[in-house]
Structure 1
Amino acid sequence: MYASYKNLKIEVKFQGQHVAKSPYILKGPVYHENCDCPLEDSAAWLREMNCPETITQIQRDLAHFPTVDPEKIAAEIPKRFGQRQSLCHYTLKDNKVYIKTHGEHVGFRIFMDAILLSLTRKVKMPDVEFFVNLGDWPLEKKKSSSHIHPIFSWCGSTDSKDIVMPTYDLTDSVLETMGRVSLDMMSVQANTGPPWESKNSTAVWRGRDSRKERLELVKLSRKHPELIDAAFTNFFFFKHDESLYGPLVKHISFFDFFKHKYQINVDGTVAAYRLPYLLVGDSVVLKQDSIYYEHFYNELQPWKHYIPVKSNLSDLLEKLQWAKDHDEEAKKIAKTGQEFARNNLMGDDIFCYYFKLFQEYASLQVSEPQIREGMKRVEPQTEDDLFPCTCHRKKVTRADLLTHVRTKDEL
């Protein structure tokens, strides 16, 4: 939302009639996204958000770290990773965000800055100190658990011990829904194309050449165009093979994917971050087996939420033929996958995941997080004169009143 409201009424209608127990009345105040009005009682916030008591992936990731020593990691992680990797060292203290960057390519910090600021505007965050990996690949690959370091990453793998967060792509789509992003979990559900029976019965895929198996997929499409429509929209990694796997095709709208019954999900450099959007559509996903995973993959079940395909795609044609021969079962898998995404990958789920992750991690700290030398505060967004924020949880000062009066006079 761009503005705050004392109360909010939401109507959901179909052909002019209320549906799904509409209308909904939200007793306010209801604050807009950039309104700095955190709830001090985090337990109450968790209840209001219906956050789960525990999240299995968080428990699994943190099991490698019985305790966390902020002093130790502040000294050791930059020495071990700081020269070769791109990292952000964050401290949350008194609900303010502080950062120090390490490495050359740190532009992706904007995504982490954004979710941390968003959380601190909504709820009192625990004091916590941690490192975020801004690169694609997980970093902590030591086999011994005795000398590993806690690194927060957007992607995990079966051969690493990084602490997994929701991807920057999914997180950004949550924060920018109805904003600057064109693809988010809500817009996909409004653009799922024709009903199942009217969808095209070929599998569809578009993307860039960021993994060898993607080359194999395009090759399969050439041999079996009646089954697969796969093509590259960009060449970068295998430019020398462009004559073999080209020509490039124009981008198509992501929503046009759902004109097809079958969606193929193949890894890129790491996990393909499009999977949440594919699941929440109403096509069935054929997902490649992979060592890489996002924060929710371990909750997915093959043959229930998606159709599994071997990592080398050797059984892709067989699985596609199965889907064609078992249309109702494939349709049911598509529906179950969509329900999973609706129940686990929406905005409230992402906020819950981040808060629970930082809360659980903070409880492992053996000393107080510190604002380290070289850290700078991540500045919150300045007050919007057009949509002011009057927080009922904060004491209104005389200066606040004067500012509010001056703003009204200017308008």
Structure 2
Amino acid sequence: MIIMLKKFYILHHFILPLLLLPLLSNYSDAVNHDTCTSRNDWSIVEKNKYLPEFNIEDDLYRKWSKIFDTIQLAYQNYSESFANKNDATSCDLFIPLINSDLRYFEENFGSNFITKEFIDKMIAAKHGVHYQIVGKRLYRQSDCMFPSRCQGIEHFILEIIDQLPDMDLIINVRDYPQVGRYFPKEQQFPVLSFSKEVSSYADIIYPAWTFWSGGPALDIYPNGIGRWDLMREKLLKIQCKLSWNKKKNVAFFRGSRTSSQRDPIVMLSRSRPDLVDAKYTKNQAWKSKADTLGDDPAKTVSFEDHCEYKYLFNVHGVAASFRYKHLFLCRSLVLNVESEWIEFFYPHLKPWIHYIPIDKNFENVIELLEFLNENQLLASRIAKRGFEFIRDQLTMKTIRCYWQQLLTLYSDRLISYRPLKPNSTLIEIH
């Protein structure tokens, strides 16, 4: 009797919420690709709600109780704490990260500490590109290390330039953050970077240039991935054609060896090809087979073709991985290897809710893949929830909103000096 009650509790307080949460979601994407999603999901529920994994007499809970309990705890502690879920123009969800980034400098330097002298020190330190906004016009130093990256940044600033006050900015276009928390105080400058390791760096995060231009240059993307809005369209269309049951039942990875953190996935693929298909591709730094762990480089695989697989690995490279947001739009289940590297939207993607966390030492990866293969409906639910978050919350409108909120709050809270006219060494950006 006690066992039956425990099972009944698990069914009603864990399994049923997993089934119902996706159905209560609002399909508010501007592109009407949600129809195929909602129709398929209703049919899955009606067809599979009495499958063995949801039967209180089944042995699956006893076999996987540790993982089930972890997922249940994640759902109990999770709440969608944003009020404007259905407002595609709002970025309220992401404001806490802006506040956190700015607070670090306020606590260490005080409010409105950026003077003309401080700006001169920032420029001299050469941690990034010097931008200036004066009279609703945008100016930049003449040289930019990565022109396409500057173009991506300038696209978003120019879209909101009429709403911005006059200010100077240092924006880092390198892959790596520039301001270590361990630096002497006099070397800690409020530089904007697209990514950082949160415990080690104090850079203020901005949405990466890759939402508009640039990104890793590959043979199939010679100018970088670019244009998030266009790639969204492609992936939203392709995922409609690939229901969960049509996807290949292996975990997939293709990418270059920008970090040795990716090596265990490739090695696991060689020992367990039944579970993992992972190979290194060739990048600009490739010199020999040693750079691809002794194998010939594999062909680059488009994001659209990633969608053919149920499970997709994400591992950081030099910094945060640009592929992360794209993987979710396949409506495949993202296996995210634990890391402190983030972009601005990462903090609201939660383990076991939107993706499956993989231990950075890969000690649990085989067990998790076997668990997912035995609990397919649960796996598809988590995949769908991650898909919906990126589809609904990471739009071009919310990215523009984030830029506007970031630069406005940066100006209000950190800056005391306002340029009256543009610096004569800068060029105007049209």
TM-score range (shorter-chain normalised) is 0.7 to 0.9
**Residue 197 of structure 2 is aligned to residue 157 of structure 1:** yes
Q: Could you tell me how far 1:68 is from its partner in structure 2?
A: 3.9
TM-score w.r.t. the length of structure 1 is 0.73
Correspondence for 1:334 among 368, 383, 389: 383
Correspondence for 2:179 among 121, 134, 140: 140
**Residue 413 of structure 2 is aligned to residue 374 of structure 1:** no
Q: Is the 8 A contact 2:250 2:276 kept in 1?
A: yes
Q: Could you tell me how far 1:103 is from its partner in structure 2?
A: 7.5
Task: Looking at secondary structure, tell me which structure has more strand per residue.
Answer: 1
SS in 2 for 1:206: strand
TM-score w.r.t. the length of structure 2 is 0.70
Inter-CA distance 132–11: structure 2 relative to 1 (3 Å threshold): closer
Where structure 2 has 5 or more consecutive residues not aligned to the other structure, the ranges are 1-29, 40-86, 107-111, 215-222
Q: Could you tell me how far 1:240 is from its partner in structure 2?
A: 5.9
Q: Which amino acid aligns with 2:171?
A: V
Q: Is the 8 A contact 1:290 1:311 kept in 2?
A: yes
Q: Is the 8 A contact 1:78 1:102 kept in 2?
A: no
Q: Is the 8 A contact 1:165 1:354 kept in 2?
A: yes
**Residue 269 of structure 2 is aligned to residue 221 of structure 1:** yes
Correspondence for 2:151 among 110, 116, 132: 110
Counterpart mapping for 1:233-244 below 5 A: 233-235=281-283, 236=285, 239=288, 241-242=290-291, 244=293
SS in 1 for 2:351: coil
Q: Is the 8 A contact 2:151 2:213 kept in 1?
A: no
**Residue 234 of structure 2 is aligned to residue 187 of structure 1:** yes
Structure 1 residues 93-132: Cα deviation after superposition (integer angstroms, max 9, x where no partner)? 2211011157756663222222222333xx4322222100
Q: Could you tell me how far 1:146 is from its partner in structure 2?
A: 4.4
SS in 2 for 1:64: helix
Q: How many pairs were matched up?
A: 332
Task: Tell me how far apart the structure 2 counterparts of residues 54 and 248 of structure 1 sit (CA, whole Å).
Answer: 38
Q: Is the 8 A contact 2:98 2:204 kept in 1?
A: yes
Equivalent pairs: percent with the same residue? 25
SS in 2 for 1:377: strand
Inter-CA distance 116–290: structure 2 relative to 1 (3 Å threshold): same
| Range that drifts further, 228-237 or 213-222 | 228-237
**Residue 140 of structure 2 is aligned to residue 99 of structure 1:** yes
Q: Could you tell me how far 1:258 is from its partner in structure 2?
A: 0.9
Task: Tell me how far apart the structure 2 counterparts of residues 48 and 231 of structure 1 sit (CA, whole Å).
Answer: 37
Where structure 1 has 5 or more consecutive residues not aligned to the other structure, the ranges are 1-9, 20-46, 381-411
Q: Is the 8 A contact 2:136 2:165 kept in 1?
A: yes
Task: Tell me how far apart the structure 1 counterparts of residues 183 and 265 of structure 2 sit (CA, whole Å).
Answer: 37
Q: Is the 8 A contact 1:279 1:334 kept in 2?
A: yes
Task: Looking at secondary structure, tell me which structure has more helix per residue.
Answer: 2
Task: Tell me how far apart the structure 1 counterparts of residues 150 and 376 of structure 2 sit (CA, whole Å).
Answer: 44
Aligned counterpart, 1:76: 121
Structure 1 residues 13-37: Cα deviation after superposition (integer angstroms, max 9, x where no partner)? 999xxx9xxxxxxxxxxxxxxxxxx
Task: Tell me how far apart the structure 2 counterparts of residues 93 and 213 of structure 1 sit (CA, whole Å).
Answer: 44
Q: CA RMSD in A?
A: 3.1
Correspondence for 2:164 among 111, 122, 125: 125
Task: Tell me how far apart the structure 2 counterparts of residues 216 and 237 of structure 1 sit (CA, whole Å).
Answer: 19
Q: Is the 8 A contact 1:64 1:145 kept in 2?
A: no
